[in-house]
Structure 1
């Protein structure tokens, strides 16, 4: 299911965009839950958990403030590195500012464009297709005593050694949750070779890495988390994510 959050201070246009989004879901056979907001504070107070299923459709000018939506997008991106951002505006000159603010917008739609519906349909279809691609990843599977546990591979950021128990490790997810496994990092490497040993105490999911700072020796994940990478492994890691 896709979660779509629409911000527009013109109530007529807000309802029209909601109608468009709901119809797109029906036309494409995609389950969509759409929510509307006419002011920034309401949306800020209801930000969902980070997820690739989240789509934010933001009017850039809110209540006469030309860059209000863009400023909000920085807060959204800081909270949710996984979401897709779509900007709606009558001001074409704002296009370059999305790159200045570095919020990685999915699309930029001008209100005077002939058919906003077609543009939104294309964007929503793209997000859904990407989700389907990610869902083809085989889950990470391990045993918890007599139970077999499957974890969505794309929900894993990294594993870290457990400082209080050398025979276990901590799994860190994209939703900032943790769970203890009765496996050390070497055991996990044997279970699943898709993870990369970035540090003697860290095993990372390459597909969740946003970027690496070689000078600082830090890996940054899409959800804002970070972990160290040793100098010994930086060059190989950079080659794998290039």
Structure 2
């Protein structure tokens, strides 16, 4: 989950940063602070080419743009991002309702202890919502744990999965990377869509990335040049799938 913090008070900004960073380190390593600033222009510049999943926005930023202006910009492009407003004055929260800026939470800055409790509650709720949305919305992504982080890989970037020579491990080959993780092909198969095919006990391939098939050797060459085995029964089913797949035109050698 990518987080942006926009708070003009340097003490509060550092405090918010440290608390979220600490929480991520010990509880959810996949939470990443991608921007921490006191300048709304920095947020808008970032959003020109990127997006985040959760925003902590001070309402009064001592700038021509307020936290509500940033939130309005976010909502124009992202209706599901988590927005948490932070303010010193509770009466400012009424303005968020006036401008129909749906927020996940509202934090009033009082003492640091109360601020810490409110921040931890907000980041926990935001991460839970993020996970729920990831499950529902990101049906075209495969999640793999890389070190202490969870990486989401678009299905379209995946070439194939295969069993590793290391017991209980799976190897994943994509357009730009190679990952190894604990798992079973049977479980992975149930997480994928119709563009993937279990062609062998040891392989699940992406039908969109087949370069050619060899009926004599019962092998598939993927677009990255790597070969995958195909079982006798699966080969004929594969040929039928490729014929029915719109735009698929594999070369059959032999």
Is residue 112 of structure 1 aligned with residue 176 of structure 2?
no
Q: TM-score normalized by structure 2?
A: 0.51
Is residue 143 of structure 1 aligned with residue 209 of structure 2?
no
Instruction: Please point out which of 80, 90, 96 is paired with 1:82.
Output: 80
CA deviation string 1:125-149 (max 9, x = no partner): 1122233334555756123797357
Query: Aligned to 2:36, what secondary structure does the other structure show?
Result: strand
Give the CA RMSD over aligned residues.
2.8
Q: Which has the higher contact order (CA 8 A, sep 6+)?
A: 1
Instruction: Please point out which of 95, 98, 105 is paired with 1:97.
Output: 95
Unmatched 5+ stretches in structure 1: 150-180, 184-242
Q: Give how far 1:83 is off.
A: 0.8
Residue matched to 1:14: 13
Distance, in Å, in 2 between the alignment partners of 1:25 and 1:83 is 18
Contact 1:49 1:80 in 2 (8 A): no
1:148–1:96 Cα change, 3 Å: farther
Query: Aligned to 1:45, what secondary structure does the other structure show?
Result: helix
Contact 2:57 2:83 in 1 (8 A): yes
Contact 2:16 2:119 in 1 (8 A): no
Distance, in Å, in 2 between the alignment partners of 1:118 and 1:109 is 10
Query: Aligned to 1:102, what secondary structure does the other structure show?
Result: coil
Distance, in Å, in 2 between the alignment partners of 1:43 and 1:136 is 27
Query: Aligned to 1:20, what secondary structure does the other structure show?
Result: helix
Contact 1:61 1:69 in 2 (8 A): yes
Q: Bigger shift: 54-63 or 124-133?
A: 124-133
Distance, in Å, in 2 between the alignment partners of 1:182 and 1:116 is 56
Residue matched to 2:22: 23
Contact 1:55 1:84 in 2 (8 A): yes
Q: Bigger shift: 135-144 or 42-51?
A: 135-144
Q: TM-score normalized by structure 1?
A: 0.53
Q: Give how far 1:110 is off.
A: 0.5
CA deviation string 1:172-215 (max 9, x = no partner): xxxxxxxxx839xxxxxxxxxxxxxxxxxxxxxxxxxxxxxxxx
Q: Number of matched residues?
A: 148
CA deviation string 1:34-54 (max 9, x = no partner): 121111111100016456xx1
Structure with the greater alpha carbon radius of gyration? 2
Unmatched 5+ stretches in structure 2: 140-190, 198-204, 209-244, 248-254
Q: Give how far 1:32 is off.
A: 2.0
